[in-house]
Chains A and B, each alone.
Chain A
Amino acid sequence: DIQMTQSPSSVSASVGDRVTITCRASQDINIWLAWYQQKPGKAPKLLIYAASSLQSGVPSRFSGSGSGTDFTLTISSLQPEDFATYYCQQANSFPRITFGGGTKVEIK
């Protein structure tokens, strides 16, 4: 199976900060990568699909980039509602889908 490694595992940031999360795949996954946001007690919410396509209704401060094995999720100006855990997910080996371990964005 394709392994997905996220870094950092946690990050402390302030409102207004620019935050970047990295996801690395163990092999080339083209652009078959999605990003999710999960708040405590809630289901994950799709933010980005196909590496850089913004899901409908998601604020434009979220952006994704990358292809191949290295990907990033950027929050351009962190808002109070953005404190959550973020997961990447690959679908290149569909249906053998795998998720990254998660990155928790905490208040500094």
Chain B
Amino acid sequence: QVQLQESGPGLVKPSETLSLTCTVSGDSISSYYWTWIRQPPGKGLEWIGYVYYSGSTNYNASLKSRVTISVDTSKNQFSLKLSSVTPADTAVYYCAREVGGAFDMWGQGTMVTVSS
């Protein structure tokens, strides 16, 4: 049974870099597209970007200048870095697996607050 688990700091200061890791268990990360999605409090879902096990990436155009997603196949993990954060980046951050255009497995989500 595939499980995804996000980890990382729950509080980040403005202008700093948000860093999260998603650990995949029950399946090899060496297939599928692995994705980050976020949801500000009380709002809808926003796709951030994906990484393929080969390392190829693609990002939401609105975040592209600040986002880096990477993969570590040896640890079965992939990571998100979002630089120069502001309070508008406060959200629940989810990692998910993409299959055929849909996200069939999700982590439980981790709340990240941007505040001094």
For A77-99 the 0/1 string (1 means CB < 8 A from B) is: 00000000001010110111111
Contacts A49-B100, A50-B100, A87-B44 given; indicate if A95 touches B106 (C-beta within 8 A). Answer: no
Which residues on B sit within 8 Å (CB–CB) of A95? 33, 49-50, 58
Instruction: Confirm or deny: A16 has a beta carbon within 8 angstroms of a beta carbon on chain B.
Output: no
Instruction: Confirm or deny: A34 has a beta carbon within 8 angstroms of a beta carbon on chain B.
Output: yes
Instruction: Report the interface size class on chain A.
Output: 20 to 34
Contacts A95-B50, A95-B58, A96-B61 given; indicate if A44 touches B45 (C-beta within 8 A). Answer: yes
Which residues on A sit within 8 Å (CB–CB) of B101? 32, 34, 49-50, 91-92, 94, 97
A99 to B47, CA, bound (A): 8
Q: Classify the secondary structure of A's interface with B.
A: loop
Which residues on A sit within 8 Å (CB–CB) of B33? 95
For B73-115 the 0/1 string (1 means CB < 8 A from A) is: 0000000000000000000001010001111101111000000
Total interface residues in chain B, CB < 8 Å = 21
CB <8 Å contact, B47 and A43 = no
Instruction: Confirm or deny: B46 has a beta carbon within 8 angstroms of a beta carbon on chain A.
Output: yes
A95 to B30, CA, bound (A): 18
B interface with A by C-beta (< 8 Å): 33, 44-47, 49-50, 58, 60-61, 94, 96, 100-104, 106-109
A interface with B by C-beta (< 8 Å): 1, 32, 34, 36, 42-46, 49-50, 55, 87, 89, 91-92, 94-102
